[in-house]
Amino acid sequence: MIIQKMHDMGIRSEHAYMAAFASIGLSVASWAGSLKMEPGTGLARADRWGLFVGEWAPTFFGLGLALSHYEQQDGTLTGTVHPLREAG
C-alpha cells in the first residue's frame, strides 16, 4: 500500500498538509512570475502555469487525509486535542 510505504518512510500527514499550503502559494507565485518574466506570451500562459501548480494542492490534501487516517488506525497520529470549553 502506498500510504503505508509513505508512512514507513517518515512522511506524516502534517508534511502533506504543509506541501498543499505551499503549493497554493507557489501557484500564485508561478502565475505572477510567468506574467512578469515571460513578456509577450500573454495572460493565458500565466494562467496555465498557475493552474498546473494549483492542481498539486488537492493531491497533497488528499494524501494528508489518507496519511491521517492511517495514523489514526496505526496509533501514531501526533498532536494534542484540547477539551471543549463552555461558552460564556
What span, in angstroms and rounded, lies between the C-alpha atoms of 42 and 29? 16
Q: How open is the CA angle 52-56-58, to the nearest 5 degrees?
A: 125
This prediction's pTM: 0.74
Q: Would you state the pLDDT for residue 18?
A: 94
Q: Which residue has the higher pLDDT, 54 or 87?
A: 54
For the chain, what are the domain ranges? 12-71
What span, in angstroms and rounded, lies between the C-alpha atoms of 76 and 27? 32
What span, in angstroms and rounded, lies between the C-alpha atoms of 31 and 76? 38
What span, in angstroms and rounded, lies between the C-alpha atoms of 60 and 54? 11
> Cell numbers at residue 44, please?
493565458
pLDDT in tens, 27-77: 888 888 877 777 777 777 777 778 888 888 999 999 999 999 998 887 776
